[in-house]
Structure 1
């Protein structure tokens, strides 16, 4: 279970990284939409993983 928690925070770190890269691309006048799209997907995966982890823990607690 702890590995799943750690992996979900990697998604959050990637979201922050791609938001930073997107802002940098805006400043340089480059195309930025792909960076923000990847950041949105990574943020979604963070919240999705956290929700599923909570469901798994609740199911495991009910089982015991």
Structure 2
């Protein structure tokens, strides 16, 4: 379970990078804001999952 949690943390960061790159590519378009929002959500999920995982590790 611990390795799976770390994998998904890294996956959220990868998704954030992909959405950031897509926002850069279509910067003049309306979609850029949606991509930036999705990238911010992915970073938030990374931080949230990491904190949750570390709290579970400390309780054990």
Q: TM-score, normalised by structure 1?
A: 0.87
Which residue does 1:43 correspond to in 2?
Answer: 43
Which residue does 1:55 correspond to in 2?
Answer: 55
TM-align CA RMSD = 0.6
User: Is 1:30 matched with 2:34?
Assistant: no
Q: TM-score, normalised by structure 2?
A: 0.93
How far apart are residue 24 of structure 1 and its match?
Answer: 0.5
Cα distance between partner residues in 2 of 1:40 and 1:13: 12
Structure (1 or 2) with the larger CA radius of gyration: 1
Q: Which runs of 5+ in 1 are unaligned?
A: none
Q: Deviations over 1:23-63 (max 9, x none)?
A: 1011xx21110000000000000011111110000001xxx
Cα distance between partner residues in 1 of 2:44 and 2:10: 12
